Amino acid sequence: MAHAPEPAPASGDLGDERPKWNNKAQYLLSCIGFAVGLGNIWRFPYLCQTYGGGAFLIPYVIALVFEGIPLFHVELAIGQRLRKGSIGVWTAISPYLSGLGLGCVTLSFLVSLYYNTILAWVLWYFLNSFQHPLPWSSCPPDLNRTGFVEECQGSSAVSYFWYRQTLNITADINDSGSIQWRLLICLAACWAVVYMCVIRGIETTGKAIYFTASFPYLVLTIFLIRGLTLPGATKGLIYLFTPKMQILQNPRVWLDAATQIFFSLSLAFGGHIAFASYNSPRNDCRKDAVVIALVNSMTSLYASIAVFSILGFKATNSYEHCLDRNILSLINEFDFPEQSISRDDYPAVLMHLTTTQPRRVARLPLKACHLEDFLDKSASGPGLAFIVFTEAVLHMPGAPGWAVLFFGMLFTLGLSSMFGNMEAIITPLLDKGVLPRWVPKEALTGLVCLACFLSATCFTLQSGNYWLEIFDNFAAPLNLLIFAFLEVVGVVYVYGMKRFCDDIAWMTGRRPGPYWWLTWRVISPLLLLTIFVAYVTLLAWKPLSYRAWNPQYELFPSRQEKLYPGWVRAACVLLSLLPVLWVPMAALAQLLTWRKRTWRDRQVRPDTDTH
Amino acid sequence: MLWLLFFLVTAIHAELCQPGAENAFKVRLSIRTALGDKAYAWDTNEEYLFKAMVAFSMRKVPNREATEISHVLLCNVTQRVSFWFVVIDPSKNHTLPAVEVQSAIRKNRNRINNAFSLNDQTLEFLKIPSTLAPPTDPSVPIWIIIFGVIFCIVIVAITLLILSGIRQRRRKNKEPSGVDDTEDKCENMITIENGIPCDPLDMKGGHINEAFMTEDERLTPL
């Protein structure tokens, strides 16, 4: 092992000491908590199921190995080496790249806004779970109490609770409606909880993370054990994991696997750089990167087993209800004795009746019941949590307890991701010294949380859900891809591969091997570029539309497909470009400053020049 | 003569009570679904009880206090169990209007259900909508109570953290800033551990953990 020369000390460390993690476990848990978020629960299982079950794991693992782990290692290494937040790190690497840090901060800010709004929804459901029967188990009666509210009757009690009693959603994005005070106070509570945990930076998040990072695993295990004992769970799991190899020929699968790994690890936010900057410089960041990335992927798999056993139970339940409804229609129409047709006899009896009395049978509202149809009705994102899972929980004995556990788990999952987002904003601001020295850290974190809360109130409007989808689809993905590409290229080609490898050798004791060298130089930048191009092409191909909840729609309860109006489209473009614009703007500013300085120098010494 | 009258009356009754007849209602019971093992069999005694309950409901209507059990006619009893019924007026030649019967049944639905240990879903009167129970809204919704508890705890915690931070800062300001001799001690330690105060027992408030530091020293090449 060659004695690596000590690198020059990172500037700014002499003097005021930097906070440190109390122990390695805090640091690892914080990174794991940041990486493991809501997407592991509601995005990965959906992708796994849509893209051929077990076969999806192949592109997923390939993306993890060639894109996820190398990029992750880069972030941890530069954060640990340069010991600053994202703005400081990129300014230190090259002043022309300082816009990258500013862009990361802006992006983290935008993402925090809507991420915490989702947590506010989770909190609202959590608070409503402490009652029996659960409020989404039945429709409310209408005004003269002869039937149920029409909107609820047409869709379902669960959908009604989500769209009407929680969001109170309007039928169009143009129609903003009023602020929902219930969601507003939940949002205020969420930001208060976030402030309480990040108030003194890693000193407080380090303590909070012990609970918020481990509680989800406990609940997932409980759900897994419970889910596997429910009837129909195995059907769900078999359906999920049966590999359909031919689906790998669809390029969309590879694109989605790559983007999933990328967003799942929360790369390019600057949060991991911030966490790593509080490490001692001689920490083995390579091992950390591999461990955290693997834990993240294992968690996704673990969660999908739990989720799909519950969804299998739900599908079996719905299938049996469908059959029972049909059987009841037959019994009522032909006045057979009660419970005289069992579920197994039903097809034979139906056949017999259709041949003997076709007209009467044709008049009945009989639905075709296939288990696969119900298993196919999966969902991703908020739809999974707030509609599909809440309905599944209703059928489990002891429903309120399960609902409390489930939403508690979602809340702690999202909270630990929020810590990473907030550190990605606060650490660079602290390092930059935007507020004078005498202002305590608590004030800075308080101001940031307050600014975020006030900006996020737009999501508590009645059209807030539509705006949240816009933020989710446009603010994050494109910018993250560009930033990640610039990160890799900036470190490898601007900072210098040799210098970087020397740093890593000094920090971890070993030089990076050929795998790292190859992925950093060639494979990861190429992959990122390909994904970016594919993403933009897909985006340009599809017309910008959204699906609105419109009770007046003739195909209600299907969501109505509407195009975004012009001003909304402009907002989408702005959101996609705003964080990225920092990069050229900062580079330009730096160029002008340099130009002005050399011009001024030339003025001072006019003739000592080889020009 | 009496036999003729009897047959005539039965024939008229048969006319009045028919599936789909005017002012007739269909009733459907799902006894086994509701009671499972404790289900009772539907026989003529149960039918008698049903007629009694309908008559009881009608007697509560003003002007109809004279309704008797014999004025309620049942017909077309099936295995399901379902049947049709009508209520005839004391003159025995026409049926009472459906609206009256409907409102009477609605008002006493609970009593009728309880007589048979059934509920609105298992004892169905087709074409008579049941009045749904009003939503049981407590005066203060449960979620607000729990929200209040959580929010108060969070506010108290934030206040405590801010106060302890202020106290810590005041204590640090009072201490003489005499930690300049750390520079001398530091050069004996490993490499450039920039800014790490080497005195572990000073007032840095628990930021540094010696156990963590000793782990680094393991990696020192020297």
φ, ψ at A266 (rounded to 5°): 55, 50
Instruction: Note whether B161 contacts A: Cβ–Cβ < 8 A.
Output: yes
- Structural domain that includes position B37: 14-125
What mean pLDDT is reported for chain B?
Answer: 79
Can you name the residues that pair with B82 across neighbouring β-strands? B28
Q: Which residues contact A346 (CB under 8 A, 6 or more apart)?
A: A323, A326, A327
Q: Where are the domains of chain A?
A: 24-594
Q: Which of A3, A196, A337 sits opposite B157 (nearest CB)?
A: A196
A35 annotated to a ligand binding site: yes
Q: What is the pLDDT of residues A570-583, one digit of tens each?
A: 988 888 888 999 99
Q: What is the pLDDT of residues A155-190, one digit of tens each?
A: 889 999 999 999 999 989 998 889 999 999 999 999
Residues of B in contact with A149 (CB under 8 A): none
Instruction: Note whether B33 contacts A: Cβ–Cβ < 8 A.
Output: yes
A108 annotated to a ligand binding site: no
Instruction: Give domain status of residue B191, yes or no.
Output: no
- Judged against a pLDDT cut of 70, whether residue A111 lies above it is answered with yes
Pick the CATH number of A24-594 from 2.20.25, 1.10.4160, 1.10.10, 1.25.40: 1.10.4160
ipTM rounded to 2 decimals: 0.85
**Which whole number is the average pLDDT over A293-315?**
92
Report how far residue B126's alpha carbon sits from residue B190's, in angstroms, rounded to the nearest whole number.
88
Q: Which of B79, B192, B208 sits opposite A335 (nearest CB)?
A: B79
A257 annotated to a ligand binding site: no
**And the tokens for A186?**
């939940």
CB–CB contact B131 A145 (8 Å): yes
How many domains are there within chain B? 1
Instruction: Give domain status of residue B1, yes or no.
Output: no
CB–CB contact A18 B195 (8 Å): yes
Instruction: Note whether B214 contacts A: Cβ–Cβ < 8 A.
Output: no
A416 annotated to a ligand binding site: no
Instruction: Give domain status of residue B169, yes or no.
Output: no
- Cβ-Cβ pairs closer than 8 A, A with B, add up to 132
**Which whole number is the average pLDDT over A263-286?**
92
**Tokens 């945990």 correspond to what residue?**
A197
Q: CA of B180: how far to CAs of A307, A605, B169, B197, in Å?
A: 57, 42, 19, 10
Instruction: Give domain status of residue B34, yes or no.
Output: yes
* Whole-number pLDDT of residue B188: 47
Contacts within 8 Å (CB) and 24+ apart, A530-534: A531/A255, A531/A258, A531/A259, A531/A262, A531/A481, A532/A478, A532/A481, A532/A482, A532/A485, A534/A251, A534/A255
**Tokens 């296939």 correspond to what residue?**
A370
Of the candidates A543, A579, A271, A596, the residue with the CA atom closest to the CA atom of residue A426: A271
Q: What is the pLDDT of residues A212-247, one digit of tens each?
A: 999 999 999 999 999 999 988 898 888 878 888 888
φ, ψ at A546 (rounded to 5°): -140, 165
Q: Which of A1, A336, A440 sits opposite B165 (nearest CB)?
A: A440
Report the relative pairing of strands B82-87 and B123-125 from DSSP bridges.
unpaired
- Judged against a pLDDT cut of 60, whether residue A566 lies above it is answered with yes
CB–CB contact B147 A127 (8 Å): yes
The string of DSSP codes covering A160-212 is HIIIIIIS---SSTT----B-HHHHHHHHHHHHHHHHHHTTTHHHHHHHHHHH
Residues of B in contact with A195 (CB under 8 A): 158
Q: Which of A19, A128, A281 sits opposite B207 (nearest CB)?
A: A19
| Other C-beta atoms lying within 10 Å of the C-beta of residue B92 | 12
Buried b / exposed e across A68-101, counting CB within 10 Å, b at 16+?
bbbbbbbbbbbbbbbbbbbbbbbbbbebbbbbbb
Q: Which of A3, A193, A339 sits opposite B154 (nearest CB)?
A: A193
Overall size of chain B counted in residues = 222
Residue A125 pLDDT grade (very low, low, confident, very high; cuts 50, 70, 90): very high
Report how far residue A542's alpha carbon sits from residue A250's, in angstroms, rounded to the nearest whole number.
18
**And the tokens for A466?**
């539509």
* Whole-number pLDDT of residue A336: 85
* Whole-number pLDDT of residue A414: 95
CB–CB contact A508 B196 (8 Å): no
Nearest-10 Cα torsion for A57, A60, A62, A63:
180
B173-212 residues touching A, CB cutoff 8 A: 190-197, 204-209, 211-212
Q: What is the pLDDT of residues B164-218, one digit of tens each?
A: 999 988 898 887 655 554 554 444 444 445 555 555 444 445 555 655 555 445 5
**And the tokens for A450?**
């307050």
Q: What is the pLDDT of residues B13-44, one digit of tens each?
A: 667 778 888 888 889 988 888 888 888 888 88
Report how far residue A131's alpha carbon sits from residue A154's, in angstroms, rounded to the nearest whole number.
25
Instruction: Note whether B219 contacts A: Cβ–Cβ < 8 A.
Output: yes
**Which whole number is the average pLDDT over A142-153?**
83
* Whole-number pLDDT of residue A466: 93
Q: CA of A541: how far to CAs of A527, A535, A536, A537, A545, in Å?
A: 21, 10, 8, 6, 12
**And the tokens for A133?**
């029967």
* Whole-number pLDDT of residue A403: 95
Higher pLDDT, A610 or A83: A83
* Whole-number pLDDT of residue A338: 83
How far A20 CA lies from chain B's nearest CA (Å)?
Answer: 6
- Judged against a pLDDT cut of 90, whether residue A601 lies above it is answered with no
Chain A contact probe: residue of B132, B193, B202 with most A CBs at under 10 A: B132
Residue A1 pLDDT grade (very low, low, confident, very high; cuts 50, 70, 90): very low
Residue A464 pLDDT grade (very low, low, confident, very high; cuts 50, 70, 90): very high
Q: What is the pLDDT of residues A383-434, one digit of tens each?
A: 888 988 999 999 999 999 999 999 999 999 999 999 999 999 999 999 988 8
Sheet holding B72-75, edge to edge: B72-75, B82-87, B25-29, B123-125
Q: What is the pLDDT of residues A355-364, one digit of tens each?
A: 888 888 888 8
Residues of A in contact with B220 (CB under 8 A): 282
A36 annotated to a ligand binding site: yes
Strands, E assignment, B140-180: none
Residues of B in contact with A193 (CB under 8 A): 154
Residue A341 pLDDT grade (very low, low, confident, very high; cuts 50, 70, 90): confident
Report how far residue A375's alpha carbon sits from residue A49's, in angstroms, rounded to the nearest whole number.
10
What mean pLDDT is reported for chain A?
Answer: 89
Q: Which residue of B has its CA nearest to A443?
A: B162
**Which whole number is the average pLDDT over A520-527?**
92
CB–CB contact A130 B133 (8 Å): no
- Judged against a pLDDT cut of 60, whether residue A332 lies above it is answered with yes
Residue A118 pLDDT grade (very low, low, confident, very high; cuts 50, 70, 90): very high
Q: Which of B32, B154, B196 sits opposite A338 (nearest CB)?
A: B32
CB–CB contact B135 A140 (8 Å): yes
